[in-house]
Structure 1
Amino acid sequence: MTIYLDVIWFLNFCIDFLLLWLTAVILKRNISKKRLTLGAFLGSLYVLFLFLDAAILYHPILKFIYSVFIVITTFGYKRFGYFVQGLFMFYFSTFITGGGILGIHYFLKSDAEIMNGVIKTQSSGMGDPISWLFVILMIPVMLYFTKRRVDQIEVRKLRYDQIMNFELKIDSITLKGIGLLDSGNQLHDPISKNPVMILDMTVFSDQVPEAVVRQAENLESIGELMDEPNPWQDRMRIIPYRAVGSNNQFLTGCKADSLNVWENGVKYETSNVIVGLSFTNISGEGEYNAILHPKMLSNAKVTSTAS
């Protein structure tokens, strides 16, 4: 059997380059192409060592030491934590990419065939070899998938960092839920200039007086509903707003008595808040049921802290 060592080396060089690039992207490190190329070249040399008749080259400790040199060559050594983070992320990128390729390969592969109505299976006991063509095609796919999943994890982590519990008091009603602190929410009451939070009425409608729900839900015919007894009539507001890609719209709101928000064990309390009543689900996955205004925390007072 003819082995084209140069082709095998070049393929491994490309794979090492992509894995190191993915590691740099995940860690958000600005690494030059020269260092990436040098690190990939050092990693690809290991393929040549495997053709030497030396059992020690297969030892896990030697492999680990070799990967340490690859990471230091590519990312440098600034401090121990910086180095360890790069090393573990390099292993993570390698294992998830290689494991994904193996998983897809065995998912698509079948060792069974039907002969004369009888299912026949065959196994060599050594596993099924993966073709180089399959590896070449799947490496970019797995790299793209890994990067997208890491990006989604980061977005979800950032979102959860901005999620906090709240307690809203309006008249004799207390509403408790989870709010998202959205810096893009700049909605204010045009009269009092108080910040406006958005409350998901698909969650809280059964806890709000029925007359309030009807007036808020039927804003276009609110004039016909004004004569209906409404315990929050003096609290009601009409708030104009403009969403991206749409014309000016209006939102029914009401003045709240107080709002308590907990962030990292710290309790913030404010009374200058207007609650916008939205009948559109604001979180498709149910992660939160209100959108908080950033000024609610900046203008609030700290009433208690976690011990």
Structure 2
Amino acid sequence: MDMVKVYLDLPISGAILGWIQDGTLLWMVGQISSARVAWPRLLLGGAIGGAFQFMLLLNQASEGLLYHWVLSPLIFMFLIPWLMVTAAFFPLTLRRFLTIIGYFYLLSFLLSGIHWGIDSLNQRYFHWTITLWWRFCLHLAFIFILGEIGWGVVHRKVWDQICLFPIQIQWQGQNLKLNALLDTGNRLHDPLTKVPVIVVEFNHIKDLLPPEVLKMVDHLQRGELADDLAIPLYWEERVRLLPFHSLGKEHGLMVGFRPDRVSVRQKNQEYESNNVVVAFYNRSLSPEGSFQALIPPAILGT
């Protein structure tokens, strides 16, 4: 019986690089499909792809030791991608799973086509030696290039990092800390006092509001104006009704209030103001959950 000597350095290094590649691909799929996913889940999903990459390279190094199952189309076309997506994004509804796996296949096929085209051109014209490391770098680069060209993921993430600010809202002994996006298109002002308006996701502030205010917000969001909506006396001077013409409505009405103080931190500088209105928005402002409020440039003095 012939002995086969297999060196594991290439399969192990290929598996590690494949782990990073597949984790990055899953991250890009999450960004495109607006699916929230934690880094440990991405690492788990990428590890499944890395383990399969190890099997492929081990099969190649051993001259077909695992041939009968590792090259099966059912394995690399369906089982591995489905396991990766499920591990990274679980729990998933059927519709959500089909959306995410569709983006995964789309990016995977595009990347495969790009690599095939580069290899074909190289073999015909250039005859360069493309090492595993260079192929890894190209693969990562093309993931980001496809995400940017197709869906603007890269510049959106860069923009979010530049324009995201931690804010702190204080009123009546309450203290709420959120991440806010600088919205240069936010020109909302209180029609009475003309002060700028911060838009905050209602779900992040409702637990800190009095029941009477919550009841009033609920009625107004349903388009009802009831006469028996009594609110605490100290809230009567705080509550504001704000007309707007965006955020998914041509003509809408938001409820807001005047806090005691709002502070916005920008690097080593902090901006404070008590001339601001906080308005409630009953939907998610960020699909990825990276921010929960919108602040106008006026808050930063610009």
For normalisation by structure 2, the TM-score amounts to 0.51
Query: Alpha carbons of 1:233 and 1:147: their partners in 2 closer, same or farther (altered >3 Å)?
Result: same
Paired with 1:245 and 1:280, the residues of 2 have a C-alpha distance of 10
Query: Alpha carbons of 1:139 and 1:225: their partners in 2 closer, same or farther (altered >3 Å)?
Result: farther
Structure 1: runs of 5+ lacking an equivalent: 1-102, 123-131, 300-307
Aligned-partner residue type, residue 285 of structure 1: E
Query: Alpha carbons of 1:232 and 1:144: their partners in 2 closer, same or farther (altered >3 Å)?
Result: same
The equivalent residue for 1:276 is 279
3-state secondary structure, aligned to 1:232: helix
Paired with 1:160 and 1:133, the residues of 2 have a C-alpha distance of 30
Question: Is the 1:112–1:121 Cα contact (8 Å) retained in structure 2?
Answer: no
Q: How much has 1:231 moved relative to structure 2?
A: 4.6
Q: Which runs of 4+ in 1 moved over 6 A?
A: 109-114, 137-140
Question: Is the 2:219–2:226 Cα contact (8 Å) retained in structure 1?
Answer: no
The equivalent residue for 1:19 is none
Q: How much has 1:284 moved relative to structure 2?
A: 2.0
Paired with 2:192 and 2:155, the residues of 1 have a C-alpha distance of 39
Question: Is the 2:181–2:294 Cα contact (8 Å) retained in structure 1?
Answer: yes
* Percent identity for Structure 1 against Structure 2: 21
1:202 aligns with 2:200: no
Larger radius of gyration between Structure 1 and Structure 2: 1
Alignment of 1:69-108 (within 5 A): none
Question: Is the 2:212–2:229 Cα contact (8 Å) retained in structure 1?
Answer: no
The equivalent residue for 2:167 is 166
Paired with 2:292 and 2:249, the residues of 1 have a C-alpha distance of 23
Show CA shifts across 1:210-261 (max 9, x none): 2212212320224344235465122111100001774211111111221111
RMSD of aligned residue pairs (Cα, Å): 3.8
Show CA shifts across 1:158-208 (max 9, x none): 211111111111233221111111111111111111100001111221122
Alignment of 1:192-271 (within 5 A): 192-219=193-220, 220-229=223-232, 231-243=234-246, 246-271=249-274
Query: Alpha carbons of 1:113 and 1:162: their partners in 2 closer, same or farther (altered >3 Å)?
Result: same
Report which of the two has the higher share of strand: 1
For normalisation by structure 1, the TM-score amounts to 0.50
Query: Alpha carbons of 1:206 and 1:121: their partners in 2 closer, same or farther (altered >3 Å)?
Result: closer
3-state secondary structure, aligned to 1:252: strand
Equivalent residue pairs, number: 183
Question: Is the 1:212–1:230 Cα contact (8 Å) retained in structure 2?
Answer: no
Deviates more, 1:190-199 or 1:152-161: 152-161
1:294 aligns with 2:297: yes
Structure 2: runs of 5+ lacking an equivalent: 1-52, 72-112, 122-138
| Larger relative contact order (CA 8 Å, sep ≥ 6) | 2
Aligned-partner residue type, residue 290 of structure 2: E
